[in-house]
Structure 1
Amino acid sequence: MIAKDPEPNSLRYTPMKYSGSLDHLSYVEVTPIIGREYSTAKITDILHAPNAEEQLRDLAVIVSERGVVFFRENQDDLSVDDLKRFTDLVAKLSGRPEENGLHVHPLYRDPGNIPMGNGETDENIYVINSEAAKKLYKTMKGRESTVGKSLEREWHSDGTFEVCPSDFSCLLMEETPSHGGDTLWCSGYEIYDRISPPMRSFLDTLTATCAQPVFKSACTAGNYAVMSPRGSPLNVGDTFAPSHPVVRTNRQTGWKSIFAGAGLHVSRINDVYDYEDNMIREYIMRLITHNHDCVARMHWTKGAAAIWNNSCVWHAATPDTHLVPGAIRTGIRASSIGEQPFLDPASKSRREALGTVDLRPAI
């Protein structure tokens, strides 16, 4: 995708169009609103196809329109380098800033950052492991709260604590129990469309601070330096408190999505009173949790993979595997770093752009 010179009422980026190169793959749409699942496709076949770049670019279009794509077949031939290359190319071919690359986790140097299943570590790979997370984030405020547990705090968009957050993330599940540990994704496009036009216009004007002080506190407690830069020349230092638009434009589709309005990394809505800040974030979270038709759910199987676009979806893991005796749930994730989030005044909501109408009010 190429950024074009802005014209009156024109989008900053030309929306991507699907060319049909993946039509040979069988799939099902997970819900009418979000998600697609390829039942037998292998990521390595796409990477090694004669028209690999065309297929990867088309996949970027599908992921950006559907929010998340699941690969159900066991991707047992997908190496760590393949996972990194796949994630990197999907993002690069969708118009990511040329100077950006894969994210480097801030706490890569932490002793609690366990190795991958092959015994190795990689600064561009984040290992999904609940026990490791407890060690990495033991300094996170509120982890020992006595308030009744709410899974609302699980919802987040990857890398929102960075000046340039993640665009595409891809997770390969290496081991998973027979039940439990599902991941959910929610469409920020659809949540935006379920808000009244006057309220949408107001939210369009807002930004939010996405502070995540746990990274600095973990480095201080562990006496090691935070990783820097992290996938972009702009992702440096240990402040981890950028401001992002509450509503952003997805560069691949040109559609508006709620972005920094709710979730784990969003610490406050800027320039409003405290009560208004809480009210806005609670309202958006209510829309997420009360509209389950906006959600796609992945029951993981060994070797399955998912790739999603963080600029238009939130995701949340289900922390219930401790209820499954002997449960092991580990995976590896690579994330690309996209542009600084922006709201293009010429962009529209998904339903407006597609000419579709849903007359049901948000609940």
Structure 2
Amino acid sequence: MTVTIPQTDVPPLRAAHVPTGGIYEGARELRRLPEGLPARPYDFFELIPQARTIGAEIRGVDLARPLDPALREELNRALLEWKVLFFRAQHLTSEQQSGFARNWGELETNPLLARGSSADVVRFDKGAGATPTFENVWHADVTFRERPALGAVLQLREVPPFGGDTMWADMAAAYDNLSPEVKDRIDGATAVHDFIPGFARFYGPERLAPFQDAFPPVEHPVVRTHPETGRKLLFVNTSFTTRITGLAREESDQLLRHLVQQAHVPEYQVRFRWQAGDIAFWDNRATQHYAVNDYGTHRRVAERVAIAGDRPF
């Protein structure tokens, strides 16, 4: 599908092409830690696992307070081991939310998203009359950037009376369970990532065209190596990955169809039911996520802070 713009003074958009479909079968290996790394207890908080390989609730930490180096280091170990951390009833201000995220690096924003109450925060405000956006699709954030986000800190300001959960998928488990034949095909391969397919679902061409120069298509490894754990991670997603470099379109579509659907496997997932003031902190390098739009016309308000990342390798 090619998206065109009627105005003569606005350049046409690039094609927005995303394959769909996929099939799964057989038993799965569910390994949470890198091979050879033993599980260790945590000294500064209580950790409650939420699923086999991904997702843990952290109790006993007040995120409004500055983190001392030892606590920050242990939270980072928990993030690397569990990939997404949940903190109940934090009720942070935007400044406190940003301050917590800065413990992991510089912050970044996405100019295509609505700004929140401060420059570092983007806001997702859904309810009666709002256009449904950025939900019901598995993705990793901003993989169309040369340096995709390291992670994100999301807080729910207002929750609907039912629904509105968020799900995360473990992309290390997704890679581990690929067949040897598929691994041979994708190890060393690269794929093109483009912002247009992900946003063309929600924005008109006149809104997207001005960003084409700022966000040209980029290539990333299909299999990314985590810079801290060394684990191999499947690094393609439905929203932004358009094709595998060097393959004919039909062959690329067929392979991508299989790869992007790995996030749909329930054994790789965790699902979080929000309450107002809850925080989720996830490793965007190692996960994909999916906001479930099942709350009808009820209001759901979330604010997110993103942490700048590095170039995938």
The answer, yes or no, to whether TM exceeds 0.5 is yes
Partner of 1:309: 283
Partner of 2:125: 129
Distance 2:222 2:51 in 1: 25
Q: Residue 190 of structure 1: CA displacement?
A: 0.2
Partner of 2:13: none
Higher RCO (C-alpha 8 Å, min separation 6)? 2
Distance 1:254 1:106 in 2: 31
Q: Residue 40 of structure 1: CA displacement?
A: 4.8
Distance 1:218 1:53 in 2: 42
Q: Residue 213 of structure 1: CA displacement?
A: 2.5
Tell me, yes or no, if the aligned pair for 2:44 and 2:71 is still in contact at 8 Å: no
Q: Residue 287 of structure 1: CA displacement?
A: 2.5
The two structures have a TM-score, normalised by structure 1, of 0.68
Once the two structures are superposed, what CA deviation does each residue of 1:198-228 show, in whole Å capped at 9, x if it has no partner?
32132112111111137799697359965xx
Q: Which amino acid aligns with 1:238?
A: A
Partner of 2:46: 26
Partner of 2:235: 259
Q: After the TM superposition, which residues 310-349 of structure 1 pair with which residues of structure 2 at under 5 Å, given as runs? A: 310-322=284-296, 327-342=298-313
Distance 1:60 1:295 in 2: 20
Q: Which amino acid aligns with 1:201?
A: D
- Structure 1 SS opposite 2:195: coil
- Shifted more, 33-42 versus 180-189: the winner is 33-42
Q: After the TM superposition, which residues 164-179 of structure 1 pair with which residues of structure 2 at under 5 Å, given as runs? A: 164-179=147-162
Q: Structure 2 residue aligned with 1:182, among 162, 165, 169?
A: 165
Aligned length: 275
Say if 1:223 and 1:192 are closer, same or farther in 2 by CA, change over 3 A. Answer: closer
- Structure 2 SS opposite 1:283: helix
Partner of 1:157: 140
Q: After the TM superposition, which residues 280-295 of structure 1 pair with which residues of structure 2 at under 5 Å, given as runs? A: 280-289=255-264, 291-295=265-269
Percent identity for Structure 1 against Structure 2: 24
Q: Residue 61 of structure 1: CA displacement?
A: 2.1
- Structure 2 SS opposite 1:334: strand
Q: Residue 44 of structure 1: CA displacement?
A: 2.1
Q: Structure 2 residue aligned with 1:88, among 81, 86, 102?
A: 102
Partner of 1:140: none
Once the two structures are superposed, what CA deviation does each residue of 1:37-63 show, in whole Å capped at 9, x if it has no partner?
124532124x25xxx122122212211
The two structures have a TM-score, normalised by structure 2, of 0.78
Q: Residue 27 of structure 1: CA displacement?
A: 2.2
Q: Which amino acid aligns with 1:188?
A: M
Partner of 2:73: 57
Partner of 1:345: none
- Structure 2 SS opposite 1:127: strand
Q: Which amino acid aligns with 1:270?
A: T
Is residue 223 of structure 2 the alignment partner of residue 247 of structure 1?
yes
Once the two structures are superposed, what CA deviation does each residue of 1:117-155 show, in whole Å capped at 9, x if it has no partner?
xxx3x3321112236983988xxxxxxxxxxxx94xx10
More strand by share: 2
- Structure 1 SS opposite 2:151: strand
Tell me, yes or no, if the aligned pair for 1:170 and 1:333 is still in contact at 8 Å: yes
Query: What is the alpha-carbon root mean square deviation over aligned residues?
Result: 3.1
Is residue 90 of structure 2 the alignment partner of residue 75 of structure 1?
yes
Q: Residue 280 of structure 1: CA displacement?
A: 1.4
Once the two structures are superposed, what CA deviation does each residue of 1:330-360 show, in whole Å capped at 9, x if it has no partner?
1110011111111xxxxxxxxxxxxxxxxxx
Partner of 1:191: 174
Distance 1:172 1:223 in 2: 27
Q: Residue 308 of structure 1: CA displacement?
A: 0.5
Distance 2:215 2:64 in 1: 38
Distance 1:222 1:193 in 2: 39
Say if 1:124 and 1:182 are closer, same or farther in 2 by CA, change over 3 A. Answer: same
Distance 1:42 1:178 in 2: 26
Partner of 1:96: none
Q: Residue 297 of structure 1: CA displacement?
A: 0.4
Distance 2:45 2:51 in 1: 18
Q: Residue 75 of structure 1: CA displacement?
A: 0.8
Tell me, yes or no, if the aligned pair for 2:152 and 2:304 is still in contact at 8 Å: yes
Q: Which amino acid aligns with 2:266?
A: H
Is residue 55 of structure 2 the alignment partner of residue 35 of structure 1?
yes
Say if 1:26 and 1:135 are closer, same or farther in 2 by CA, change over 3 A. Answer: closer
Distance 2:194 2:208 in 1: 21
